Structures are given as structure tokens and as C-alpha cells.
Homo-oligomer: A and B are copies of this chain.
């Protein structure tokens, strides 16, 4: 099987020197129209394709960016990757994709693989909480490869970051619930297992330690309650494992309380599906018995029965903005770290009921 033709073979076939062939194929320098034609047709005939790897090792730029997310099959990340990919492709960059499945070792080797492939930059949605990114990003830093953080912020690092206004968006949504007469509002998901807070102060501390999106959203919930002077009932926040199964259990408990919540706020898709299942199996109706607000609008929310009111985030734009920041950094070098905060919006549908007239006691 014939090996792939090189630029020198094209040159020979065209009867010119390598450099001339390289110039016309690379589109730089001077070359006569005659020579250009001969090279082009020769290249065409031989099925010549430039070797980007060789180009990269020669020029030092691979025109490839690395993207590492928790899980491509998660629609949120899928959409973010799409946003980044569209922009990258338009500018002639390739995308090397890695998933971590929230595992630190996976994340480390993902970053290392990208570095070894000499990507021009990395978009990273890290699964590390709090500090301690030094180790993971070390190889990238050593090779001075720019990194943009996506969706998950890191406190210490001076890195470009793209996030949404998690805290504020939840605060607004929960506040609107309160203004509609709801005061017992369930919150799924609260902080992870290990914290197990028992009082407001502990809860708030747990949320703040948790620099993740979840922590931010929880803070928004607490903000809203505090703003409106509604007392927190810690039994109304679901804690522990973040699985649909666990939510169903937790919610089963909540919904069978003597004073059960009149509304539930869900911070993620799985939290929402678990909640819906629990409500249904408790024989309750939405919104007559329980109001529901979810996060991250998905296609099915609009056709659910009843259609679900959701907080919608500009997921694709999140990825696009990350890519924009990254390419800017790649092409225009250094400067102070920039953090983009994108806005969410609430899509009002029919899963929230106004019960303010029921509170005439």
C-alpha cells in the first residue's frame, strides 16, 4: 500500500524544488503562477495532504485545543463542548476531548495527555473542589499552556474562567416562590454527605467551603430565605449522595412530613427527575399539591405534563465564551485573568402555583 505522499514527492512530480512546493502549498512567500499551477495539479493528482503533526513540531503550534469535562454524555457538557467546538472549528482548530468522570486521577492524566500532544490551550471543567490544582495543572504550567476554567471556579488559581451567576439566579427563583406564598421550600441537592450539617450556620459554612456550583446555588437558596425572613428548616434540604435514587428516598421523607413542603427547587437534572418520580409515587399533583422549579432547561421540560418552570443557562454560549477567551489568550498572549459571568433566565411555565391566598391563617 502506497505511503502517503510528502511535499518533496509533490515537488519532484511538479519538477520544482521542495521549497517552492512548500511555499505554494503553505500559501506564503513568492512563487510564479506557472510553478504554482504545476505544484497544485501535482498535489491534486497524488492526493497530497499536509501533515499537521510535522507542521506542528516545526512551527511549535498544533492548532489544536484540549477540552476536558466530567462527562460528554451529560447534555450540559455536550452542549458546552458543542459551543467550544463550533468556534474552534471555524478558526481551524481541532478539538482533543477527554472526560474525567469526576475522578482526580483521570483528570491528571487527561491534562497530561493534552500537554504531551502540545495543544495550544486547554478548556477545563475541573472536578477538584477548593484548592489543590497545582498538581493537576503543573504540566500545563510548565509548558506554559493557557488554561480556561469552565463552569467550575477555582479559588486560588489566576486563570481565565467562565461561569454563570449561580447564586443570584437561585436567589431570584426562590424569592419568587416566596412571593407566591411558599415558605416551606424543599431544596435538592444540598451539600454532599461528608458535611452533614445540622444547623443553619453549619449549612452555610458547608456551602461556602463547597466552591462548586452546588455550593453557590445553595447559598442563593439561603440568601432568599434570609432576605424574606423565612426560617430555614434544615430537614427540607436533601443531603448525601447525588443520585436520582437517593433523591427519591429523601423526597419521599419530605413529602410525608406533617407540614410537607409546598414547593421544591432542584439544582440539576437528576435532582429533578428524582423529584418528579417521588412526587408521582406519593400520589401528589404538580402544581396543585407541590410546585416545582428545575435548573438547566431541557427539551422535555417544555412537554412535561404540566410543562415545567425552569432556570435556563446559556450552556452552549458557556463553551463558546471559554473558547473565545482561550483563543484570545493563545493568539494575543498574556494579561490579567478574566472571569466571565454569564446570565441565566427563568422560563416560566406551569409547574408553579400561586398560593398566597391560602395563607390567610
Contacts and interface: CB of A to CB of B under 8 A. Distances in A.
Contacts of A209: none
A113 interface: yes
Contacts of A298: 300
A89 B107 CA distance: 12
B99 A97 contact: no
Contact of A89 (B1, B98, B142, B144): B98
A53 B57 contact: yes
B73 A316 contact: yes
A51 B118 contact: yes
Contact of A273 (B62, B79, B273, B302): B302
B75 A118 contact: no
A81 B85 contact: no
Given A52-B118, A300-B300, A113 B99 contact: no
B300 A47 contact: no
Given A53-B62, A96-B94, A113-B94, A4 B305 contact: no
B49 A143 contact: yes
A49 B299 contact: no
Contacts of A95: 96-98
Nearest to A106: B89
A99 B118 CA distance: 22
Interface string A42-59: 000001011111101100
Contacts of A71: 82
A329 B303 CA distance: 44
A139 interface: yes
A52 B117 contact: yes
Contacts of A64: 96, 117
A310 to B, nearest CB: 13
A14 to B, nearest CB: 18
B277 A303 contact: yes
20 contacts: A49-B112, A49-B142, A49-B143, A50-B116, A52-B116, A53-B118, A72-B81, A72-B82, A72-B85, A73-B82, A78-B78, A81-B97, A85-B98, A85-B99, A86-B99, A95-B97, A269-B299, A274-B303, A276-B303, A304-B305
Give the top 7 A-B pairs by smallest Cβ distance, nearest first: A47-B142, A78-B78, A73-B82, A73-B79, A276-B303, A73-B78, A97-B97
